[in-house]
Amino acid sequence: MDESDADFSTVKQHAADNDTLVQLKTDEYLLPGFIDLHVHAPQWPNAGVALDQPLNEWLDTYTFPLEAKYQDTAFAKRVYDDLVAELIGNGTTTALYFGTTHNPANSELAMACITHHQRGFIGKVAMDNPDQTPEYYRDASAQSAVADTESFIQQLTELNQTADIKQTPVITPRFVPSCTPESLKGLGELAKKYDLPVQSHCSESDWENGYALEHYHMRDAEVLDQYGLLTDKSVMAHGTLLNQSDLDTFKDRGVAIAHCPISNVYFGNAVLPVSKLLHQDVKVGLGTDLSGGYSPSLYQNIRQAVISSRMLHDGVNAELSPEERGTDNQPISAKNGFYLATVGGAKSLHLKTGQIKAGYLADLQVVKSPLRAFEDENMETVFEKIMYHASKSDIKRVYVQGTQAK
């Protein structure tokens, strides 16, 4: 409602009388909460570690050993409590999480989301391919990968019965190299049976892309589609190497892409052409990709998304002439980045949020303008300063479904 509504004064006075009226200071602004479409929750302790390594070596040397530690639920509880609080503190009201193969730890992640009033979409990671996963950290078989996924769906359904903010189970094949055809098939059948979201990685790197071509003689998008894992509830991370045929499939199926601009600098082997995807009506949101992306802040990722798009457009090889150096992919603006972190994410997860308007979920952040104004400034100037300068300390309050979480 606004001041033009007949009962505005009455409602405002009632809120004041009940100590629920929140009044912003002159340098504070109300924004929609952010939606992070790609978080590896167990990797939080490694944020920023060994990002100079090739993706496959980084996984084997640093990531899989860390994720294996989550068989210790006490360790999981400590990490996940800290992670969810950190994301809330950065204005992230909804997050799409990869968990681990361990369901007790995945339940701890769900409980951390409930405790901190965050809306979580959480997946039990499936990874059963003995050729690409270590013996100490993988599903024992395709059958157990699928059965444990179904068990986690049931556990989360039971947990939701007493939760104010519901958590959503997500079908989560890690990516094509980590899974056998049998597990991919079973997971696709589960996604259809329960009508659930699906998340994975797709065309993230030359290595990942090459694996599918070598072992399936198909692109990884085609492999995932073959097993029913590309639906209008699917979110595929990265996508830096998707070709036009892949993008046509994504649009036809309604698949969303989680753009992870910081992580893509290290592991993506290319820059995602965001403006091209948006022009083709492919759904795109924003992800931090902890810990391949070192920052839990979507503000930081908005900035990198803008920077990367400009470098893609202008080119980076000074040995080429200006006419040859860049591409025809237009750079995006801070407004486009903000769209990805709000509306883009909401559309990807089929949520009525990401905007401040009647009938939408009250997922909000109160942000203090991070820079002093030396003269009158219009809202566009204030907005751009917030997008380029805001940090966790500038986010004063966060609300999820109207409940204050920070």
pLDDT in the model for residue 19: 84
The angle, 0 to 180 degrees and rounded to 10, between the axes of the packed helices 103-115 and 73-89 is: 30
Q: Residue 145 has which token pair?
A: 């990968």
Unique residue bearing structure tokens 């070596």: 57
Please name the fold of domain 28-404.
TIM Barrel (3.20.20)
pLDDT in the model for residue 5: 82
The secondary structure of the chain in percent helix, strand, coil, rounded to multiples of 5, reads: 45, 15, 35
pLDDT in the model for residue 1: 67
**HEC string for 32-60:** ECEEEEEEEHHHHHHCCCCCCCCHHHHHH
Q: Is the pTM of this model over 0.85?
A: yes
Q: Residue 303 has which token pair?
A: 């900035």
* Beta-bridge partners for 43: none
β 168-173/119-126 pair status: parallel
Domain boundaries, the chain: 28-404
**HEC string for 49-115:** CCCCCCHHHHHHHHHHHHHHHHHCHHHHHHHHHHHHHHHHHCCEEEEEEECCCCHHHHHHHHHHHHH
What is the spatial distance between Cα 2 and Cα 337, in angstroms, rounded to a whole number? 28
pLDDT tens sequence for the chain (406 residues): 677 787 888 888 888 888 888 899 999 999 999 999 999 999 999 999 999 998 889 999 999 999 999 999 999 999 999 999 999 999 999 999 999 999 999 999 999 999 999 999 999 999 999 999 999 999 999 999 999 999 999 999 999 999 999 999 999 999 999 999 999 999 999 999 999 999 999 999 898 889 999 999 999 999 999 999 999 999 999 999 999 999 999 999 999 999 999 999 999 999 999 999 999 999 999 999 999 999 999 999 999 999 999 999 999 999 999 889 999 999 999 999 999 999 999 999 999 999 999 999 999 999 999 999 899 999 999 999 999 999 999 999 999 999 999 9
β 234-238/198-202 pair status: parallel
Residues 367, 120, 87: CA angle, nearest 5 degrees = 35
Q: Which helix or strand (DSSP H or E) is residue 277 part of?
A: helix 274-279
pLDDT in the model for residue 2: 75
Q: Which helix or strand (DSSP H or E) is residue 9 part of?
A: helix 8-17
Q: Which helix or strand (DSSP H or E) is residue 142 part of?
A: helix 142-160
